[in-house]
Amino acid sequence: MLSNNYQTFATVALALLDGVLSAPVTFRLGERDLSFDYQNNKVRGVNLGGWFVLEPWITPSIFSVGDNVVDEYTYTQALGKETASRNLQNHWDSWITQSDFNAIAAAGLNHVRIPIGYWAVAPVDGDPYVQGQLPILDQAIGWARGAGLKVMLDLHGAPGSQNGYDNSGRLGPVNWQQGDTVSQTLNAINGLAQRYKGDTDVVTAIELLNEPLGRALNLDGVKSFYENGYDTVRQSSNDVAVCIHDAFEDFRSYWNGFATPSTGQSNVILDTHQYQIFDVKQVAQSPSSHVSAACALGPKLADTDKWTIVGEWTGAQTDCAKWLNGYGKGARYDGTLPDSFKVGSCDGKYTGTVAGLSDDDKSNIIHFIEAQLDAYEQHTGWIFWTWKTESAPEWHMKDLLSNGLFPQPLNSRTFPGQCG
């Protein structure tokens, strides 16, 4: 029989244990210390698209060199290394500058997501790509530090292409997971992790791979790659979050239970990209239906077992932007893309400025942006795509801010309560 002292001790211990077991589960587990608190603060960020990975719709002027140039691979292949290097060096030096980082911070944002291709970090013999991005990325880390911004480094393109999209660097078949492409991708991740392991006051997350196309890949292989990528990053630093994309699988039912502290991984962020325009049914929705669909995502995001961000999203309710669907291709919204039907006009949205949009378009964009902000902040937060474009007004955050279509401050609402 226990003495009274031991009985008292046991009672207290059991009460404490009961309190621990009944307390809500948090995501901040382990001894690792990040310089951004993803558990208690919201990610409010923007992508720096079209900078180190070219996309025809973001910078169409760069692609005015011939109909066979449809991505960065064919651009460098057609121009040759000397000319491509000179042209791209000028682009890298001018597309994003310190003043952009300062403006991003002044708008109340706290993160930038910087896409970069494997070829900048761990080039593969025989590829036509050119290098020189990393010294400018180094400079960008300094700009972010000076502006008080955090950086998510995003491996946007993998050898062989993980999705076949032009934004992977190479349009065409999905050949990632073939041959040595996975190990080559891990080499690029290791290169980023090693290079910036001393900059975790700014570089708070590394995304292992942007948008692997799950339906075209071996998903067990994707999970294995994520596990190996996590270990690769951890060999360099415990003080950076590891971000994984949902591979276009359900971000709750497919990914809950994967890469959690119970499976040996901590400080993992799940990234999901939410667009409502790359499907003929979605692009045909009414403006109010777009808002309802955005609001419906909020509770689902909150039901994930990891920090979860919407790492790409847009104010666009149309796919009208010039070459958004690929170089030389039309749009679903106006029926100019094969196997689509006309929903409406792309006037002012194919190319143009935010100021030049119709009043209806402006109102629809404000409604849509505000609904998405309300929905995505029901969990970890959001990163808008993209900071600037040459001529795509629905996507141009800098221009949206300047014209009052993106809220300032970020928690203000022209149309409050859309998500209930």
CA dihedral 81, 83, 89, 92 (to 10 degrees): -90
Distance from chain centroid for Cα 46: 8
Q: Which two tokens stand for residue 368?
A: 């849509």
The answer to whether 52 and 115 have CB atoms below 8 angstroms apart is yes
Number of CB atoms found within 10 A of residue 326's CB? 16
Let me know if 249 is a catalytic residue.
Answer: no
The answer to whether residue 312 is catalytic is yes
**Helices 133-147 and 72-95: crossing angle, nearest 10°?**
40
**Rounded CA separation 280/264 (Å):** 41
Strand partners, 342: 334
Q: Are 266 and 38 in contact (CB under 8 A)?
A: no
In whole angstroms, what separates CA 289 from the centre of its chain? 24
What's the full length of the chain, in residues?
A: 420
289/199 Cα distance (integer angstroms): 43
Which position among 211, 370, 377, 394 bears the catalytic label? Answer: 211
- What is the CB neighbour count within 10 angstroms for residue 216? 17
Cα 393 to Cα 414: distance, rounded to the nearest angstrom: 20
Could you count the other beta carbons within 10 Å of the beta carbon of residue 300? 17
- Does residue 154 come out as left (phi exceeding 0), alpha (psi in the -120 to 50 range) or beta? beta
Q: Which amino acid is at 129?
A: Y
Choice among 55, 72, 207, 312 that is catalytic? 312
User: How far is 88 from 80, CA to CA, in rounded Å?
Assistant: 12
Pick the closest to residue 176 from 198, 149, 150, 158 (CA basis): 158
Burial of residue 134 (number of CB atoms within 10 Å: 0-12, 13-18, 19+): middle
Nearest to 171 by CA among 73, 41, 240: 73
Q: Is the peptide bond before 232 cis (omega within 30 degrees of 0)?
A: no
Residues marked as catalytic: 211, 312
